[in-house]
Amino acid sequence: MSLLSQTASLIKREILLEQRQKYAFYGVLLFVVSTVFVAKFSFKVLNDFPTWNALFWIILLFASVTGVARSFAQETKGRLLYLYTIADPRAIFLAKLIYNSILMVILGFLGLAIFSFLVSYPVQNSGMFLVTLFLGCTGLAAAFTMISAIASKAGNNFTLMAILGFPVVLPLLLAAIKLSKFAGDGLPWSVTSTYLGVLAALNVVIIALAYLLFPYLWRD
Amino acid sequence: MKRNWWKFLCILLLAFTFFAGIITPLAPGFLITSNTILPTYSAPFTVKILGYNTRFKENEKSFSAWLTNWDDKQAVNTCPDNVMIIDDNHAELTFPPTSRLDSMFFGISVYNDADGKMYTHSAIFTSDTMHGGLVQSCKPVVKNAKADHFSFPFRDILYESMRNLFFHVPMWFAMIALLTWAIWNNFKYLRGFDLKYDARANQAVNTALLFGMLGLITGSLWARATWGAWWVDDVKLNGTAITMLAYLAYFVLRNSLDDEQKRARVTAIYSIFAYVMMIVLIGILPRLQSSDSLHPGNGGNPAFSNYDLDNSLRPIFYSAVLGWILLSFWIYSLRLRITALQEKNTEA
């Protein structure tokens, strides 16, 4: 089987697992809703855009830790061994990456909807904000897929996942926060192109690095 | 002996750095200790000058001072009516009553043959361009533009703390050099799974963290002296702090794995990942516009080499960079040997 068809069937497997378990996606979604409520009640009024922005991305960050962390942790030892014998490690990584990216993008957009509905939506340049949200979510998903793979080798420790992951995703998060700040202030595209470039380049770098390194991590 | 030539070079370079970096005096310069706002009424205006490393009294004969006011095309110089030299470091200049003004800011120049020409731009300003101003134009004589001895430049805010350039900046060069060496060894490990490379990478990261800490400490001291706070909200500072966190996490990861080969593999992968992110965090993000940084070359600030790194600092700075990098590799090689011996001991 080629890499692509392997990847496709592995993504199908992920979706099937998700459909059977259900609690995973809805669990993270519920997590987002509860965090938004916590933010709403602790801030009461949230008119300040930088705070709104920072809060939104922090909620997304924690959602991605809880959501993507499972991607390797949920696999049993036997299942991992089975996958190891039948599939190309790159296909396994790509499947996890694509599945997690889709999951994160959906979570990101749903999160934005919930956040806007319950708190406020002060963004002026919505197009740019949505592009930032998309790139930020895919980047977070890619970085945490890799970190989750690393953490799974060290006993699936959630604390380890957080301390390994946060410093690594910080450049991405900073670029995303800056860019969505620009979007919120309604700056034109021409001003923000460097940051957009950085964010896109970070996505590419993270995915390329993870794709190249994952096969080494995979064999036990 | 032949294999250790670089250690001698390291000692030599660092000795030169310490010696030349501390002994070389700062160039003569001055501060204004009196009111810097030009009165808008017509009255004589007195400026009190506090010299640093200056010899006013000694060179009283060649002493001159003047205000420079930039009109549309050229500098208009105004000389004081009365100059009172109190001692080598104190002088008082009294300027004539003012009547006209071309711009709101005046630079002050002070000159004598031994100290050369010293200049402070925008030293005096006025809040009212309609009244006040200086008309008497004079042509000062400048024989030696520079001081008669080798010195570091006298810079506002930095002053003597400029010498920290030879300590603070090379720490980061050493850290980056060691981390790059660590990554190189991580790659080599992943190619052949030889634990020798893992030990090298690990000790390189260890030593790099030490130099990172030193960089933060020297930076913090420098920030206190120049920016007025031990820690400022600066992208570069936060970036390095985060890098430290990433590498501390590296040690946690390392300690949580028991199997040697597995530990080497997992940490090599994380280390490569963290290194690339660190380059982005402290190398690329701070250089972008509007990233509020106080560091030279960041957040739209001009880099050192543009004008800050004076030619008098250059040779010492370069030898400091090389010297500290060599020292960091020396420490690294010692640590490597110690761990090798410890392992031998536990095996025996």
Which pLDDT score is estimated for A105? 93
Phi–psi pair at B65, nearest 5 degrees = -150, 150
Q: Give the three-state DSSP class for B77.
A: strand
Nearest-5° angle of CA B179, CA A205, CA A127?
A: 135
pLDDT above 70: percentage of residues in chain A: 98
pLDDT class for B177, splitting at 50, 70, 90? very high
Nearest to B214 by CA among B116, B331, B311: B331
Higher-scoring residue by pLDDT: B228, B218: B218
Q: Which chain B residues touch A72 with a CB distance below 8 Å?
A: none
Nearest to B169 by CA among B305, B331, B267: B305
Whether the pLDDT of residue A39 is over 70: the answer is yes
Mean pLDDT of B191-205: 92
Q: How far apart are CA A57 and CA A133, in angstroms?
A: 9
Q: Give the three-state DSSP class for B109.
A: strand
Return the amino acid letter for B132: G
| pLDDT tens-place string over residues A64-121 | 888 887 777 777 778 878 888 888 888 888 999 999 999 999 999 999 998 888 888 8
Which pLDDT score is estimated for A136? 94
Nearest-5° angle of CA B122, CA B128, CA B133?
A: 70
Which pLDDT score is estimated for B137? 66
Phi–psi pair at A53, nearest 5 degrees = -60, -50
Which pLDDT score is estimated for A40? 84
Contacts of A69 (CB under 8 A, 6+ apart): A144, A148, A151, A158, A161
Mean pLDDT of B301-327: 76
Whether the pLDDT of residue B50 is over 60: the answer is yes
Query: Picking from A169-183, B21-35, B295-309, which range would have the lowest pLDDT averaged per residue?
Result: B295-309
Query: Picking from A188-192, A201-205, B104-108, which range would have the lowest pLDDT averaged per residue?
Result: B104-108
Which pLDDT score is estimated for B181? 96
pLDDT class for B1, splitting at 50, 70, 90? low
Higher-scoring residue by pLDDT: B44, B198: B198
- How far apart, in Å, do the first and last CA atoms of chain B sit? 30
Disruptive mutation site among B189, B235, B280, B287 for chain A (greatest number of A CBs within 10 Å): B280
**DSSP 8-state assignment for residue B290:** T
pLDDT winner (highest mean) among A9-13, A97-101, B115-119: A97-101
Contact yes or no for A107/A28 (Cβ under 8 A): yes
Q: A163 vs B277: CB contact, 8 Å cut-off?
A: no
Higher-scoring residue by pLDDT: B327, A195: B327
Q: A205 vs B276: CB contact, 8 Å cut-off?
A: yes
pLDDT class for B131, splitting at 50, 70, 90? very low
pLDDT class for B306, splitting at 50, 70, 90? very low
Which pLDDT score is estimated for B130? 52
Q: Which tokens sit at B329?
A: 């590799």
Nearest to B160 by CA among B243, B116, B226, B74: B226
Q: B253 vs A220: CB contact, 8 Å cut-off?
A: no
Higher-scoring residue by pLDDT: B196, B154: B196
Contacts of B208 (CB under 8 A, 6+ apart): B174, B175, B178, B179, B182, B247, B328
Q: A150 vs B252: CB contact, 8 Å cut-off?
A: no
Contact yes or no for A36/A115 (Cβ under 8 A): yes
Return the amino acid letter for A14: E
Q: How many CB pairs under 8 A join A and B?
A: 76
Q: B256 vs A155: CB contact, 8 Å cut-off?
A: yes
Chain B residues bordering chain A (beta-carbon distance below 8 Å): 190, 242-243, 245-246, 248-249, 252-253, 256-257, 262, 265-266, 268-270, 272-274, 276-277, 280-281, 284-285, 288-289, 291
Q: How far apart are CA B257 and CA B268, in angstroms?
A: 13
Contacts of A73 (CB under 8 A, 6+ apart): A148, A151, A152, A156
How distant, in Å, are the alpha carbons of A9, A31, A44, A45, A120 from that of A34?
Answer: 34, 5, 15, 17, 16
Which pLDDT score is estimated for A82? 82
Q: Which chain A residues touch B249 with a CB distance below 8 Å?
A: 160, 163-164, 167
| pTM, two decimal places | 0.83
Q: How far apart are CA B69 and CA B75, in angstroms?
A: 6
Report the length, in residues, of chain A: 220
Q: A167 vs B266: CB contact, 8 Å cut-off?
A: no
Q: What's the gap in Å between the CA of B189 and the closest CA on chain A?
A: 11
Which pLDDT score is estimated for B208? 94
Which pLDDT score is estimated for A130? 93
Mean pLDDT of chain B: 82
Q: Which chain A residues touch B266 with a CB distance below 8 Å?
A: 150, 153-154, 217
Higher-scoring residue by pLDDT: B129, B312: B312
- Give the ipTM: 0.88
Q: What's the gap in Å between the CA of B303 and the closest CA on chain A?
A: 20
Q: How far apart are CA B184 and CA B197, in angstroms?
A: 9
Q: Which chain A residues touch B257 with a CB distance below 8 Å?
A: 153-154
Q: Is A213 on the interface with B (CB under 8 A)?
A: yes
pLDDT class for B132, splitting at 50, 70, 90? very low
Which pLDDT score is estimated for A28? 86
Q: B289 vs A194: CB contact, 8 Å cut-off?
A: yes
Nearest to B80 by CA among B114, B103, B111: B111
Distance of CA B234 to the CA centre of its chain: 15
Whether the pLDDT of residue A59 is over 80: the answer is yes
Q: Which tokens sit at A46?
A: 């949230």
Q: What's the gap in Å between the CA of A187 and the closest CA on chain B?
A: 13
Other beta carbons within 10 Å of B223: 19
Which pLDDT score is estimated for B80? 82
Phi–psi pair at B324, nearest 5 degrees = -70, -35
Q: Which tokens sit at A165?
A: 């992951």
**DSSP 8-state assignment for residue B84:** E
The string of DSSP letters for chain A reads: --HHHHHHHHHHHHHHHHHHH-HHHHHHHHHHHHHHHHHHHHHS----HHHHHHHHHHHHHHHHHHHHHHHHHTS-HHHHHHHHHHS-HHHHHHHHHHHHHHHHHHHHHHHHHHHHHHT----S-HHHHHHHHHHHHHHHHHHHHHHHHHHHHTT--HHHHHHHHHHHHHHHHHHHHHHHHHHHHT--HHHHHHHHHHHHHHHHHHHHHHHHHHHHHH--
- How far apart, in Å, do the first and last CA atoms of chain A sit? 23
Whether the pLDDT of residue A137 is over 50: the answer is yes
Chain B residue with CA closest to A210: the answer is: B273
Which pLDDT score is estimated for B237? 79
Q: How far apart are CA A23 and CA A26, in angstroms?
A: 5
Disruptive mutation site among A146, A206, A214, A216 for chain B (greatest number of B CBs within 10 Å): A216
Query: Residue A33: CA atoms inside 13 Å, Cβ hemisphere, count?
Result: 7
pLDDT above 90: percentage of residues in chain B: 26
| pLDDT tens-place string over residues B74-111 | 667 778 888 888 888 888 888 876 655 555 677 888 88
Query: Residue A68: CA atoms inside 13 Å, Cβ hemisphere, count?
Result: 39
Nearest to A135 by CA among A204, A203, A210: A203
Whether the pLDDT of residue B302 is over 70: the answer is no
Which pLDDT score is estimated for B308? 54
Which pLDDT score is estimated for B178? 95
Chain A residue with CA closest to B246: the answer is: A167
pLDDT winner (highest mean) among B127-136, B212-221, B284-293: B212-221
Q: How far apart are CA A54 and CA B137, in angstroms?
A: 58
| pLDDT tens-place string over residues B223-245 | 888 888 888 777 777 788 888 88
Disruptive mutation site among B267, B277, B290 for chain A (greatest number of A CBs within 10 Å): B277
Whether the pLDDT of residue B252 is over 60: the answer is yes
Q: Is A200 on the interface with B (CB under 8 A)?
A: no
Chain A residue with CA closest to B240: the answer is: A167
- Partner residue opposite A163 with nearest CB, options B249, B280, B285: B249
